[in-house]
């Protein structure tokens, strides 16, 4: 903005004041004296002011797009870490549920062992299932603590207790964006591409400015002088209007122009590479989203069937039609099916988030 304000001024540089005194006091000392004061105004070269303003405008746009691109890069890290934390929360919730089921089963087995319906070996198997569940809960708690610390290092605040648990991750899912037929609109809306486009524009504007800056700025000077030849003579007043035109330097201008053109080529080359990378990332994000939807449908179906089977075997176990190893196996299968469904649900939400990231959309 300061550069833009400077381009709006009437002179290329601030005016300068020049003061001088000429006297023969140290030589003949006959009273000769001249006092002069003047102002020098650096002038714009032809086309320099307009191109300087255009360069300043391009720099303003580049600064804004650089901020948005930085926000998007930060959002990518936060999104990835957030969904890792959600997965860790899901594992902890499932580990708690598995431990509760194992403990309840162990109590039932203990009662039946005491009543003489089951052997001590069955009690050992049930207690072993409780120990395994406790181990899984401890591992899940450790993983959750690590994920929470990583999220805190990015956001500056720890995840609050009011955060939605993993089972409710669907409520936290970002809205699915509308996808066009191709990625042509990425150049106008994706912050990473807009940043490179603005950088290339700045480089082009700088090259255009260098093309007109073939010499230092000329100066218009206005001075007034008061002088006398000898002591006792009246002072004479004079006004001087001058124009200073420096010679150009082709070699220096060529060096500046070549540097500006090299920056333009570099920015345009990076733009092409980034566009191809983002298009590939967008295609991959679309495939992941469709795959996550199909996996969630299958995982929900498997989880529902596993819950129904667990209910059937619970009843048959209570009436003595099913042995304990089968009961433990069914319980483990149901827990694993529920775990997969929960994780797939979170993966779907993360896939939507990744698709929005590939499209250059910030979290809502």
The pLDDT value recorded for residue 184 is 59
| 186 vs 277, more confident | 277
Distances (CA, A) of 64 to 4, 54, 142, 297: 15, 16, 41, 42
Long-range contacts of 267-274 (CB under 8 A, 24+ apart): 267/196, 267/199, 267/200, 267/202, 267/203, 268/200, 270/196, 270/199, 271/193, 271/196, 271/197, 271/200, 274/192, 274/193, 274/196
Q: What are the domain boundaries of the chain?
A: 2-23+35-358
- Each residue of 105-122: pLDDT tens digit? 888 888 878 877 777 888
Which structure tokens are listed for 3? 């550069």
- Asked if the model's pLDDT at residue 320 lies above 80, the reply is no
The pLDDT value recorded for residue 315 is 81
Q: Which fold is adopted by the domain 2-23+35-358?
A: Outer membrane efflux proteins (OEP) (1.20.1600)
164 — pLDDT class (breaks 50, 70, 90):
very low
The pLDDT value recorded for residue 223 is 93
Which structure tokens are listed for 126? 């049930």
Question: How many C-beta atoms surround the C-beta of residue 243 within 10 A?
Answer: 9
- Each residue of 225-280: pLDDT tens digit? 998 877 778 888 889 999 998 887 677 778 888 888 898 899 889 988 998 999 89
CA-derived radius of gyration, the chain: 39
Question: How many C-beta atoms surround the C-beta of residue 77 within 10 A?
Answer: 13
Angle, helices 48-114/324-358, rounded to nearest 10 degrees: 170
Element (H, E) at 238: strand 236-244
Which residues are registered as beta bridge partners of 300? none
Question: How many C-beta atoms surround the C-beta of residue 275 within 10 A?
Answer: 18
pLDDT, the chain, mean: 85
114, burial (CB in 10 Å: exposed 0-12, middle 13-18, buried 19+): exposed
Q: Taking residues 137-166, what's their average pLDDT?
A: 80
- Asked if the model's pLDDT at residue 169 lies above 60, the reply is no
Please give the torsion angle defined by the CA atoms of residues 22, 28, 30 and 31, in that order, rounded to the nearest 10 degrees.
20
Give me the percent of the chain exceeding a pLDDT of 90.
Answer: 32
Q: Taking residues 292-305, what's their average pLDDT?
A: 91
183 — pLDDT class (breaks 50, 70, 90):
low
């Amino acid at each position: 903005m300061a550069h833009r304000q400077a381009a709006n001024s009437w002179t290329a540089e601030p005016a300068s004041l020049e003061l001088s005194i000429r006297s023969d006091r140290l030589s003949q000392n006959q009273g000769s004296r001249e006092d002069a004061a003047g102002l020098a105004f650096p002038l714009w070269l032809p086309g320099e002011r307009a191109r300087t303003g255009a360069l300043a405008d391009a720099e303003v746009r580049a600064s804004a797009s650089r901020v948005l691109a930085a926000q998007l890069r930060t959002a990518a890290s936060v999104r990835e870490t957030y969904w890792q934390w959600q997965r860790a929360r899901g594992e902890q919730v499932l580990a708690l549920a598995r431990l509760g089921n194992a403990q309840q089963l162990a109590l039932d087995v203990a009662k039946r062992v005491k009543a003489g319906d089951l052997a001590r070996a069955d009690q050992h198997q049930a207690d072993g299932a409780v120990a395994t569940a406790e181990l899984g809960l401890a591992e899940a708690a450790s993983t959750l603590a690590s994920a929470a610390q990583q999220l805190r290092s990015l956001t500056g605040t720890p995840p609050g207790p009011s955060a939605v648990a993993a089972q409710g991750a669907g409520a936290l899912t970002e809205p699915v964006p509308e996808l066009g037929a191709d990625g042509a609109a990425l150049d106008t809306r994706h912050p990473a591409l807009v940043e490179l486009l603005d950088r290339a524009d700045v480089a082009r504007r700088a090259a255009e400015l260098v093309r007109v800056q073939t010499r230092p700025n000329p100066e218009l000077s206005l001075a007034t002088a008061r002088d006398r030849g000898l002591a006792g003579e009246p002072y004479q007043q004079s006004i001087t209007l001058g124009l200073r035109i420096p010679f150009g330097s082709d070699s220096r201008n060529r060096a500046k122009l070549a540097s500006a053109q090299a920056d333009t080529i570099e920015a345009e080359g990076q733009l092409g590479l980034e566009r191809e990378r983002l298009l590939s990332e967008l295609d991959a994000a679309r495939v992941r989203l469709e795959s996550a939807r199909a996996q969630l449908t299958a995982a929900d179906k498997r989880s529902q069937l596993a819950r129904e089977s667990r209910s059937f075997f619970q009843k048959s176990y209570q009436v003595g039609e099913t042995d304990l190893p089968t009961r433990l196996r069914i319980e483990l299968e149901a827990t694993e099916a529920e775990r997969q469904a929960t994780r797939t649900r979170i993966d779907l939400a993360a896939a939507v988030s990744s698709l929005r990231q590939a499209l250059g959309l910030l979290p809502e």
